[in-house]
Amino acid sequence: MFVSLEGEKVTGTPGQTEPAPKKNWLKSVAGLMFLGFLVGALIFSQSIKNKAKVGQAAPVWVAEDLQGARVSLSDFKGQTILLNLWTTWCISCKEETPALQAFHERYGDKIKVIGLDVREPVDTIREYMKMTGTTYMVLRDKIGKVTGPYNVRGYPETWFIDENGIARVYWEGPMTFEQMQDFAMQTTGKPIDGEGVGPVQAGDELRAVAAIPDGGSQTIFAATNKGIFRGKFTSGPVKEWTRIENDMVKGDITSLVAPTAASGVLIAASAQTGIVRSDDGGATWEKVGGFKSSAVPALAASPDGRVLYAWVSGSGLQTSSDGGASWSQVKGGLPGDTPISALAVDPANPAHLFAGGEGGALVSNDGGKTWSEIRLRERIYTIDTVPSVFGMAFDANSPKNVYFATNKGVWKSTDGGKTATWLRKSHARLLNSVSLSGKTGSVISSAPNGDIYLSRDGGANWELITAAR
């Protein structure tokens, strides 16, 4: 017997080799397994480092445009990017596409919107873009190489990447236009509208707009949380806005209407004063209602300005038949705590009244005593869409035409409000008011950030008439 160098006892004649003991073989296998584990752990650790993570450099990818040319993330160095991962079969992607298009049209000069389709044929993508009117950049992740580094768990998913290539915001699921505005600010560290838009400074809010024909132009009135501003529109953006220096309308204004057949008449709700009226285009004002603006989110007026309606939160619908000189509460009807944010009265029948809010729209045929629901529903890109309503207006020249300002752009009814469809070019974003300008037929709508849109053709086409401050 002799002793090996490892101290193991073996038997046999010196010079002869014995098979290794079985337990040594097991140790070798365990060692190999441990080594494999270490290598796998190192590979996994490195892959984790290369995955997209907020606050770190976004993984660089290479994709193709629809002509087959190679496009890389590095090609956009120095630009802020909204990277949207999507597919044409994704229902939530279809819901989101109109908002992406609206964001691109409004802010495409500040943020590069890129839709990165995953594993679909070019013809399928082109057909979808034609159906939805998509004009922002769309690329192909032909074999799905991006889905790994970008942790894709479903569609759509979106990354906001700053000008230095750092991923700043990640979002799962569809986004609204307003979310994109907020995410853009988180990405760049500053408001996307800079110092503000039109009559609205950054941080303030535009509540409603109205217009009065003025020769060959229109005087635009903008109600904000800092008073009422006046601007003149002829063509192109309104660049000069003047605040009306009257103590009755200097503060928070939540609603504003301009009766279409009463030249120069404006009616507003002021937090400090209550309901006020001007008969001379805003030069002078008088108090015509003691309700606080904070409790009066909606006003409506007949074309001649005689019949008025006001929604007073907590107590319900109030009406006046003498231009605001006296008011009475409508008996019955909706409970006072109903969240109403819009009213509109039929120019052909003052008892035919609409009300709107986050739940949609309601109609009354007896001046607000009884109500029934209007389901503003449309199938947009195969999705049933029911918008919230924040502003409404009848066309005095064609009362069957009713416009609705919603969280998904402007909708229009041509049958007196029974049905309505989305006006595609009005942009899929929250618009909080809509009005018509006297006999001109111009339709005007506003967004909280200060954007004001005008249509000269009944809502088919729209132009932005406010500019950065």
pLDDT tens digits for 191-231?
A: 999 999 999 999 999 999 999 988 778 999 999 999 999 99
Q: What are phi and psi of 460, to 5 degrees?
A: -70, -40
Q: Is residue 21 part of a domain?
A: no
* 179 and 268, same domain (yes or no): no
Strand 62-64 and strand 70-72: the pairing is: antiparallel
Strand order in the sheet with 328-329: 298-301, 308-312, 316-320, 328-329
Average pLDDT, the chain: 89
Give the CATH number of the domain where residue 113 resides. 3.40.30.10
* Domain endpoint, select from 188, 210, 241: 188
pLDDT tens digits for 315-349?
A: 899 999 999 999 999 999 999 999 999 999 999 99
So what's the pLDDT on residue 11? 35
* 250 and 283, same domain (yes or no): yes
Three-class secondary structure of residue 127 per DSSP: helix
| Average pLDDT estimate for 392-396 | 94
| Cα distance between residue 254 and residue 239, in whole Å | 23
Q: Is residue 295 part of a domain?
A: yes
| Cα distance between residue 76 and residue 256, in whole Å | 44
Q: What is the dihedral of CA 11, 16, 17, 21, to 10 degrees?
A: -10
Give the CATH number of the domain where residue 243 resides. 2.130.10.10
Total structural domains within the chain: 2
* 177 and 304, same domain (yes or no): no
CA dihedral over 188, 190, 191, 195, signed as positive or negative: negative
385: which 2 tokens? 């869409």
* 310 and 338, same domain (yes or no): yes
Residue type, 225: N
- Residues of the domain holding 289: 196-464
Contact of 270 with 249, CB cutoff 8 Å = yes
pLDDT tens digits for 105-119?
A: 999 999 999 999 999
Q: Is residue 46 part of a domain?
A: no
Q: Is residue 225 part of a domain?
A: yes
| Cα angle 255, 258, 264; round to 5 | 130
| Cα distance between residue 267 and residue 70, in whole Å | 58
Q: How confident is the model at residue 29 (pLDDT cuts 50, 70, 90)?
A: very low
CA distances from 310 to 267, 273, 361, 408 (A): 11, 15, 16, 25
* 184 and 201, same domain (yes or no): no
* 184 and 217, same domain (yes or no): no
Strand 286-289 and strand 298-301: the pairing is: unpaired
